[in-house]
Chains A and B, each alone.
Chain A
């Protein structure tokens, strides 16, 4: 299933790549792309595990870039 998010307070392009790589590693995430310039995150995830995946993504973000917020569109 596809999801889109606005991603706020993303300050640098390297951080975006870093987050992208970390989220990619989460089990059940089939595709992720974060655009630093358009401040958007697109996810293709396993529907059955949606809640766990979203929790893990929030953990990753909190650990790597605590300032970053994601807002579902």
Chain B
């Protein structure tokens, strides 16, 4: 509890003492009046002050105005006790509300506590603490055990375990040593690390993530916009209602005096305060976003919580999303020569290529290649490569390439097949596969059990490799051999279909940025360290874990459920009490009690959104 709240608490206590005095010491009426009146002023002077101030600046109809009007009115009607009690309960409610909001503010900011305060720089053999903003790319910083890594960089010296749970939600620490990349926001656990900075503070991971989460509140969910609109019309309507309630009944029903109706009108005003909604709904969404970010799921706005909860179709990119994205030579079939020799030819042919398949072949062949022997390189895009090695013609490529060369090769239905030909003679083939992520099947089955009706896979790879992956996963349809623009067209086509519903595209953000932007919800996997993904996507999953998609859906549904509960609950109770107040069933005390009670309950309910497993 901070200073401001404490002062408020003391004021409330003091006014209670005065109030008890006024009730128990019936010396004379003017003495009691003084006690009541000072209790009233002590507990409510700031409300009165704000009300006057707001009226002077031309804004009627806020809660301070409503409370002041109702309590001053009660004093004129001679209801001193009621007047003080209303102000008292209102302030207790406010106190509670500030406390609860403060509490969620701290718990949200503590879970986003990745902003480093300083960096250790070595100067003249001594370590000095400097502002991370002042550190430049190429500088060497030192991170001691227990400290946060302040900027992204590469380890120059030392090794240690890093706790990246604030970034990824993953609690298993990762081991880093010389030449490994470290990201700001992770916490060094045991060793001393010397790090060469590769990104300035503003470009570093921690800053990017914080920016994203802090800006999240600018994209509002429909429910939030509804509340803003609601309170704009609501208060004037209520005030007009109150005036009518005071003026009309005395004419229609002779037994109702003007005074009684005036009191009812004041009660009506007290009940009408929309605070419960106005605070609890944004608080609920903020908590949902905060809770998700603790699990390594970053959302760019509460509107995406809404879309996620309604998701019907998910489109996956294959490589790097459903699969690990690292190609490996999984099979070598040699015809008349040794496997070693076959691999050597393939590696020589692919010597200068950077294609993922070429890289995987070179990785498999661990020996040194004599570069001077490799000549006349001719790449046939999308098909293969032709080189001359020690004056022998080597052709390496796929079935289509073999067809062009008019060489007969066996048809293989397995991953990506690369054939090797020497001087028109077939030597054998290599199979290169991209492994499916271990938990992909489980994660997708889980999604299916939520409300996802359609799961579609898109890939730039060949039909065979798409078929192989699709057959192992619970996928409805797949489209292969797509260029990046084809993926966009395919997703647009889906978006135009009626039965698609809300559509999410899941990719790694490398070359599918346009698709991520176009989908209702663009989900980027493995966003940690990839700026492109963080820019383009609406939802960023920091690590590579497909299960987080399901988790994000769960968090969104839970948040939406809590927000809806609050809306229904708050409006329901309000309307109920407004009716009671209008007919004189509920008095002013009960009205304030209802108002404060609803606010407190709604706020407590909203705070549940912060809790993720």
Q: A interface vs B, CB < 8 Å? A: 9, 11-14, 17-18, 33, 35-40, 42, 63-64, 66
Which B residues lie within 8 Å of A33 (CB)? 215, 217-218
Task: State how many angstroms separate the Cβ of B306 from the closest Cβ of chain A.
Answer: 18
Which B residues lie within 8 Å of A11 (CB)? 94, 98
Given contacts A9-B4, A14-B231, A17-B228, contact A37 B286 (CB under 8 A): yes
Given contacts A35-B214, A38-B109, A39-B105, contact A63 B279 (CB under 8 A): no
Query: B275 and A12: CB pair below 8 A?
Result: yes
Task: State how many angstroms separate the Cβ of A58 from the closest Cβ of chain B.
Answer: 14
Which A residues lie within 8 Å of B231 (CB)? 14
**Chain A residue nearest to B218 in the complex (CB):** A33
Query: A64 and B57: CB pair below 8 A?
Result: yes
**Chain A residue nearest to B286 in the complex (CB):** A37
Query: A12 and B57: CB pair below 8 A?
Result: no
Query: A37 and B282: CB pair below 8 A?
Result: yes
- Cβ-closest 9 pairs across A and B: A37-B286, A35-B217, A63-B57, A33-B218, A13-B278, A14-B278, A13-B279, A13-B282, A38-B214
Which B residues lie within 8 Å of A36 (CB)? 282
Given contacts A13-B282, A14-B62, contact A40 B214 (CB under 8 A): yes
Mostly helix, strand, loop or mixed at chain A's interface?
A: mixed
Which B residues lie within 8 Å of A14 (CB)? 62, 231, 278
B182 located at the interface, meaning its Cβ lies under 8 Å from any Cβ of chain A in the complex: no
CB 8 Å contact bits of B282-314 with A (1 = contact, 0 = none):
110010000000000000000000000000000
Residues of B205-251 contacting chain A, CB below 8 A: 214-215, 217-218, 228, 231
Which B residues lie within 8 Å of A35 (CB)? 214, 217
Which A residues lie within 8 Å of B425 (CB)? none
B108 located at the interface, meaning its Cβ lies under 8 Å from any Cβ of chain A in the complex: yes
Which A residues lie within 8 Å of B108 (CB)? 37-38
Give Cα A42 to B216, complex, Å.
13
Partner of A37, one of B62, B63, B104: B104
**Chain B residue nearest to A14 in the complex (CB):** B278
Give Cα A47 to B278, complex, Å.
34
Task: State how many angstroms separate the Cβ of A43 from the closest Cβ of chain B.
Answer: 13
Task: State how many angstroms separate the Cβ of A16 from the closest Cβ of chain B.
Answer: 9
Which A residues lie within 8 Å of B335 (CB)? none
Partner of B59, one of A9, A13, A64, A66: A64
Mostly helix, strand, loop or mixed at chain B's interface?
A: helix
A-B contact count (CB 8 A): 44
Which A residues lie within 8 Å of B217 (CB)? 33, 35, 37-38
**Chain A residue nearest to B112 in the complex (CB):** A38
Give Cα A43 to B410, complex, Å.
66
Which A residues lie within 8 Å of B275 (CB)? 12
B128 located at the interface, meaning its Cβ lies under 8 Å from any Cβ of chain A in the complex: no
Task: State how many angstroms separate the Cβ of A9 from the closest Cβ of chain B.
Answer: 7
Query: B279 and A12: CB pair below 8 A?
Result: yes
Residues of B42-70 contacting chain A, CB below 8 A: 50, 53-54, 57, 59, 62-63
Which A residues lie within 8 Å of B57 (CB)? 63-64
List, sorted by A's number, 15 A–B pairs whose CB atoms are closer than 8 Å: A9-B4, A11-B98, A12-B63, A12-B275, A13-B279, A13-B282, A33-B215, A35-B217, A37-B105, A37-B108, A38-B105, A38-B109, A63-B57, A64-B57, A64-B59
CB 8 Å contact bits of B100-114 with A (1 = contact, 0 = none):
010011001100000
Which B residues lie within 8 Å of A42 (CB)? 215
Task: State how many angstroms separate the Cβ of B54 from the closest Cβ of chain A.
Answer: 8
Which A residues lie within 8 Å of B215 (CB)? 33, 42
Query: A18 and B59: CB pair below 8 A?
Result: yes
**Chain A residue nearest to B274 in the complex (CB):** A14
**Chain A residue nearest to B224 in the complex (CB):** A13
Query: A66 and B53: CB pair below 8 A?
Result: yes
Which B residues lie within 8 Å of A18 (CB)? 59
Which A residues lie within 8 Å of B282 (CB)? 13, 36-37
Give Cα A34 to B228, complex, Å.
14
Give Cα A50 to B518, complex, Å.
37
Give Cα A66 to B53, complex, Å.
9
Give Cα A33 to B211, complex, Å.
13
Which B residues lie within 8 Å of A40 (CB)? 214
**Chain A residue nearest to B94 in the complex (CB):** A11
Which B residues lie within 8 Å of A63 (CB)? 57
Given contacts A9-B4, A12-B275, contact A37 B59 (CB under 8 A): no
Which A residues lie within 8 Å of B53 (CB)? 66
Give Cα A69 to B217, complex, Å.
21
Give Cα A38 to B101, complex, Å.
10
Give Cα A35 to B220, complex, Å.
12
Give Cα A63 to B214, complex, Å.
27
